[in-house]
Structure 1
Amino acid sequence: MDEKELQEYLHNMGQKERRELTARLRLVKPKRKNAYIQSISEQQRLQLEAELTARGFEGSASEIDLLLRGGSIPSGAGLRLFYRDQRLQEDDKWRQWY
């Protein structure tokens, strides 16, 4: 089956057949998500490490990596630390509920 025949076959395929085909393809090859990570300079990394140690955290590479990937670190009393807009910020974890 050449390219033109394949395009014609897919174009004439019914919605049910198309849905079954996509389900089979999803089983064969699942979609991969691209990893999200913020890129910062070495100076910003050192500043982030200093801010974490000033707040009582280790400032380890794993904590910094977690923050740069969009995660947050619980800082007690329902608050959490996260890194956004080149700054370490603190937010109330349960703010949306009240």
Structure 2
Amino acid sequence: MRTTTLLCLSLALGAACQPRQPTLTEADRSAVVDSVRRIVTGVFAAASRRDAADYVSVYAADPDVHPAVWNGVAAPTLERLRATADSFYGAIAALETRASGE
């Protein structure tokens, strides 16, 4: 029993000391960075245009992504998220219209 324990311990230590293989290559990392940059830039561009449909388009249609959160409120579907964003952008537009006196 003691021999088995020592053998297992030495094998475990040997395995732990092996250099880890990188999980992503530099090309993979670069691709991830480019994708994230494109998505984040797209989200901010859509938000600055107050384009709810374009804003929501970056979300995956996969149901595992839900619920999404907008302004602290969970939206159980992408359609609800789009409707909430439309409503929010409409409220901002109404405030701007009143502020400018139009």
Same fold by TM-score, threshold 0.5 exceeded? no
Which structure dedicates a bigger proportion of its chain to strand? Answer: 1
Larger Rg: 2
Normalised by the length of structure 2, the TM-score is 0.25
Normalised by the length of structure 1, the TM-score is 0.26
Which structure dedicates a bigger proportion of its chain to helix? Answer: 2
